[in-house]
Amino acid sequence: MSNDIFVWVEQFSGHPTAASWEAAGLARRLADELGSDVTACVFGGQGIEPLAQEAISYGADRVLLAEDATLADFRVEPQAALLAKVVREAEPAVVLIGATFRGRELGPALAVELDTGCIADCTALEFEDGQLVATRPIYAGKLLSRCVIPERRPQIFTTRVRAFPKPEPDSSRSGEVTRVEPVLAEDEIPSKVTGFKETKGGVSLTDAAIIVSGGRGVGGPEGYEPLRELAQVLGAALGASRAAVDAGWIPYEHQVGQTGKTVSPDLYIACGISGAIQHQAGMRTSKVIVAINKDPEAPIFKLAHYGIVNDLFKVVPALTEAFKEKLG
């Protein structure tokens, strides 16, 4: 057994996700505290070699690179099989995985494969008396839980997206790249990816640094237009409450909350959203929350840092103008 930290680098069509580098930054910090090394696992299709250098710039000392058609589109079976193999060989103390859809599927599959534990969706990870202690939200963030994996190794953690800072890449760092071969051949993998339907509409909610979100107060599908304009000026993603999604005004992919996405942007602008507890469940950890609502008694004002009590159809276009003036 070593004290090394493994981090899984996830990619889509050869593009790494921010969640991977957040996990890599955390891996670096933990390895520095232990005086050990970080190994990044970069498993993808042909052409992902540049990600190896990128992983090093984000803190890896060593990269295990697998470049193979079977690993191009995400499927949990070949990823878990290869990750399990390299982990068995190197016996790291910790494996970190970003808690994206892919990571959330991979973590528990790897845990079963290695007969160890996986702690999901960590928002903090610290050593206490030599033991890694994870903090994670439960009951939609109404409570927090501290979790440990006292005996089994490796300890697997998935890290909540945007809960850990993405480090500044340092291109002067150097590291060693080792090529590894996939464990499963194509005919040993049960699932076949036959297509992909990309979501239109720009920035992904879970990665977004800024979210402009609209609820029942937008009044209809066309009510999202002023919000889209504001989002465009800010490079923000568009969110929604369940009431608006259920009304069919905007697709479910945009829903924030207990039965939608959990987001944690730097800035969350809630427009015409009352702030029901289930909505709060998905956005309460946002750094700064702005509420725009006609009703001064709306519960969202209890959670928000800044509020404007007025018609969103007056306020949102005015905000768009004001940002345009400032941001040029």
Ligand X SMILES: Cc1cc2nc3c(=O)[nH]c(=O)nc-3n(C[C@H](O)[C@H](O)[C@H](O)COP(=O)(O)OP(=O)(O)OC[C@H]3O[C@@H](n4cnc5c(N)ncnc54)[C@H](O)[C@@H]3O)c2cc1C
Binds 244, which of another protein, ligand X, none (CB < 5 to 8 A, cut-off by type)? ligand X
Q: Based on CB atoms, which residue is closest to another protein, 24 or 63?
A: 24
| 290 interface partner picked from another protein, ligand X, none, CB below 5 to 8 A per type | another protein
Which partner from the list ligand X, another protein, none does 241 bind, CB cut-off 5 to 8 Å by kind? ligand X
| From 24, 120, 183, 273, residue interacting with ligand X (rule: CB under 6 A) | 273
Peptide bond into 154 cis (omega under 30): yes
Task: Determine which residue in the list 108, 229, 278, 318 makes contact with ligand X, applying CB under 6 A.
Answer: 278
Member of 204, 228, 303, 313 binding ligand X (CB under 6 A): 313
For the record, the structure tokens of 225 come out as 């237009």
Residue placing its CB nearer to ligand X in the complex, 117 or 137? 137
Can residue 279 be called a binding residue for ligand X (CB under 6 A)? yes
Report how far apart, in Å, the C-alpha atoms of 82 and of each of 44, 74, 109, 143, 276 are: 11, 13, 12, 35, 43
> How many residues line the site for ligand X (CB under 6 A)?
28
74 binds, among ligand X, another protein, none (CB under 5 to 8 A by kind): another protein
Q: What value, to the nearest 5°, has the Cα angle with vertex 227 and ends 221 and 228?
A: 85
Q: Using the rule CB under 6 A, which residue among 78, 154, 182, 215 binds ligand X?
A: 215
> What's the maximum distance between 2 C-alpha atoms anywhere in the chain?
62
Please say whether the beta carbons of 159 and 99 come within 8 A: yes
Residue with smaller CB distance to ligand X, 25 or 257: 257
Residues 323, 233 contacting (CB under 8 angstroms): yes
List the one residue from 141, 217, 226, 307 that touches ligand X (CB under 6 A).
217
Least spacing, CB of residue 65 vs another protein, in Å:
22
Is 34 or 276 the residue whose CB approaches another protein more closely?
276
> 92 vs 175, which CB is nearer to another protein?
92
Segment contacting ligand X (CB under 6 A): 3-11, 48-56, 96-104, 306-314? 306-314
147: CB partners within 8 A, 6+ apart: 119, 122, 133, 134, 135, 136
The DSSP letter of residue 35 is T
Long-range contacts of 123-127 (CB under 8 A, 24+ apart): 123/160, 123/163, 123/285, 124/163, 125/26, 125/30, 125/157, 125/159, 125/164, 127/30, 127/33
* Residue number, 172 or 297, with CB nearest to another protein: 297
Q: Site residues for ligand X, window 230-269 (CB under 6 A)?
A: 241-244, 255-260
Look at residue 80 and give the partner it binds from another protein, ligand X, none, a contact being a CB closer than 5 to 8 Å depending on partner kind: another protein
| Backbone φ, ψ for residue 144 (5° rounding) | -120, 150
> If binding is defined by CB under 6 A, does position 298 make contact with ligand X?
yes
Give 12 or 313: the residue with its C-beta nearer to ligand X: 313
Q: Are 25 and 58 in contact (CB under 8 A)?
A: yes
What DSSP state is assigned to residue 188? G
Dist. CA 23–CA 291, nearest whole Å: 31
In angstroms, give the least distance from the CB of 255 to another protein: 8
DSSP strand pairing (62-67 vs 176-179)? parallel
**Strand runs labelled E in 203-319:** 210-214, 237-240, 267-271, 288-293, 306-309
Least separation in angstroms between residue 147's CB and another protein is 5
User: Please, are residues 94 and 29 in contact by the beta-carbon 8 Å criterion?
Assistant: no
> The tokens of 290 are what?
């702005």
Minimum CB distance to ligand X, residue 296 (Å): 9
- Residues in contact with ligand X by CB under 6 A are 215-217, 241-244, 255-260, 272-274, 276, 278-279, 282, 292-295, 298, 311-313
